[in-house]
Structure 1
Amino acid sequence: MRSLIPTLHVTRPATSTGLAPKLGGLPWGLSTSLWPVCKECGQAMSLVAQLPVRDALDQLGPLAGQSELSDLVLHLFKCEGEDVCSFWNPDIGTNAAFFLSRNDLREGYTAAPESTTEILPELWVTGWKPFEDPVPPELAEAVNDPIRWLNDFTDDMLFPATHRTKLGGVPWWTGNGPQQVPNAPFAYLLQIDQFLEVEDAEHDVSFGNFCSDGTCYVFVDAESLRATMFINR
Structure 2
Amino acid sequence: MLLIHDGETTDDASVPRTGGVPLVPGGFVWPTCRACGGAMQFLAHLPLDTGVFSVFFCQNDPGMCDDWDAASGANRAYVFSGELTAATVPADGETLLGAVTALRLHRDDEPVDGLVLGRLGGEPDWIQDDETPDCPSCATRMTFTAELEEGYDFATSANFGGGGRGYLFDCRPCGEAAFLWQR
TM range (shorter): 0.7 to 0.9
Give the corresponding residue for 2:146: 190
Corresponding position: 1:88 with 2:44: no
Residue in structure 2 matching 1:217, options 167, 170, 176: 167
Residue in structure 2 matching 1:173, options 118, 126, 139: 126
Query: Shift of residue 32 of structure 1?
Result: 7.1
Larger Rg: 1
Corresponding position: 1:115 with 2:73: no
Q: TM-score, normalised by structure 2?
A: 0.79
Give the corresponding residue for 2:107: 130
Amino acid of the residue matched to residue 94 of structure 2? T
Cα distance in 2 for partners of 1:19, 1:164 equals: 18
Query: 1:21-55, CA deviations, whole angstroms, 9 ceiling, x for partnerless residues?
Result: 211122235657421111111111111111222xx
When the two chains are superposed, the root-mean-square deviation of aligned CA atoms in Å is 2.7
Give the corresponding residue for 2:31: 36
Determine which structure has the larger helix proportion and give its number.
Answer: 1
Matches within 5 A, 1:1-12: 4-12=1-9
Distance 1:195 1:11, change over 3 A: closer
Cα distance in 1 for partners of 2:108, 2:42 equals: 27
Query: Shift of residue 115 of structure 1?
Result: 3.2
Q: Report the secondary structure of 1:131's partner residue.
A: coil
Q: Where in structure 1 do 4 or more consecutive aligned residues deviate above 6 Å?
A: none
Does the aligned pair in 2 maintain the 1:44–1:114 contact within 8 Å? no
Cα distance in 1 for partners of 2:31, 2:25 equals: 11
Does the aligned pair in 1 maintain the 2:9–2:100 contact within 8 Å? no
Give the corresponding residue for 2:79: 99
Query: 1:188-216, CA deviations, whole angstroms, 9 ceiling, x for partnerless residues?
Result: 111101134xxxxxx68651211222110
Give the corresponding residue for 1:46: 41
Does the aligned pair in 1 maintain the 2:149–2:165 contact within 8 Å? yes
Cα distance in 2 for partners of 1:18, 1:208 equals: 19
Cα distance in 1 for partners of 2:37, 2:7 equals: 30
Any unmatched runs of 5+ in structure 1? 59-68, 133-161, 197-202
Cα distance in 1 for partners of 2:176, 2:87 equals: 23
Query: Shift of residue 82 of structure 1?
Result: 2.4
Q: TM-score, normalised by structure 1?
A: 0.64
Identity %: 24
Give the corresponding residue for 1:78: 57
Query: Shift of residue 232 of structure 1?
Result: 0.8
Distance 1:218 1:206, change over 3 A: same
